[in-house]
Amino acid sequence: MNSFLKWAGGKSQLLEQFEFLFPQELKQGKILNYVEPFVGAGAVFFHVAQKYQIQKACLIDVNKDLILTYQEIRDRIEELIEKLRLLRDQYLSKSLPEREQFFYEVRKQYNEGTVSSLRAAQVIFLNKTCYNGLFRVNKKGLFNAPFGQYQNPAIFDEMNLRQIAQLLKGVTLLCDDFESCEQFVDDRTFVYLDPPYRPLSKTSSFTSYSGTFGDAEQIRLAKFFERISREKEANLMLSNSDPTDHFFDDLYRGFLITRVKANRAINSKASGRGQITELVVRNYG
């Protein structure tokens, strides 16, 4: 089972390395709950939920259309597949110039909210047909990624979506700030936090899926991490970028910091793509 979206900073490529970093209590079946307050494309959740015997899960994100899409998959999967099939068939029947025009028509409808019943289907369609899978919004909250000139994009996989729908049954889905996850955390919980990454340089940042997440927010998250670790005694694991200024080494002093290797998948220039290191912070050994 794979994530149903492309996502900048998605964790599919890191799952093999993460396996060595997951808490032993998870592998021993002692952890009952999974909480992820920056769910994004959900690669880590899908991996954990398939491999380990968790009883409850809560997935949170501030992107309301992302959570709406998860809810549509969980609660109305067949209706969503029909809408996706209609969009796909219309799109693939066209020439490349016509596809580009169709893409921008769908993007306009999405930004104007004129067909609310298609919103979740539009999220998946735009994500799979935009340039480089870069689901990006501007300061006004409007999706602005350009058309991707793919010959035969795999817009959706029916079997995969139905499997995801089954996996999401009983999962709590919330559109909220990361601190709202506290109510779902206890000492038998694994919390994975994957916030918007801190830019490696002043020029590497882009307006992301739900607004900005600057240093003040990173500091607020670190304080939350420390408090939940102390008060809830949960197993916490957090990912972020590996900047050169030791920002996170200082911010998470006292916790275990591991560096993992990742491939930069999304960059406007080919020269900017390649292997980098990212940080994983844990409150357990």
Top CATH class of 12-62+176-282 equals alpha beta
Do residues 127 and 143 make contact, with C-beta atoms less than 8 angstroms apart? no
- Joined together, the tokens standing for residue 106 give 């769908």
Q: What is the mean pLDDT of each run of 10 residues along the chain (285 residues)?
A: 82 93 96 96 95 96 94 97 97 96 96 91 95 81 90 92 96 97 97 91 50 86 96 96 90 95 62 77 95
Q: Yes or no: say if 173 and 71 are a contact pair by the CB < 8 Å rule.
A: yes
> In Å, what is the CA distance from 194 to each residue of 38, 82, 148, 172?
6, 32, 27, 18
So what's the pLDDT on residue 265? 53
Q: Which residue has the tokens 């999974």?
A: 34
For residues 229 and 254, give the distance between their C-alpha atoms in angstroms, rounded to a whole number. 12
Q: Which two tokens stand for residue 57?
A: 């899960």
What the block records as the tokens of 90 is 């219309």
What does the pLDDT read at residue 275?
A: 83
pLDDT at residue 206, rounded to an integer: 43
Between CA 77 and CA 81, with CA 78 as vertex, the angle to 5 degrees is: 85
Reported pTM: 0.91
Domain borders along the chain are 12-62+176-282, 75-158
Please count the other Cβ atoms lying within 10 Å of the Cβ belonging to residue 101.
13
Supply the pLDDT for residue 212.
74
Q: How many CB atoms lie within 10 A of CB 79?
A: 13
Q: 75-158 architecture in CATH? A: Orthogonal Bundle (1.10)
How far is the C-alpha of 165 from the C-alpha of 93, rounded, in Å?
A: 28
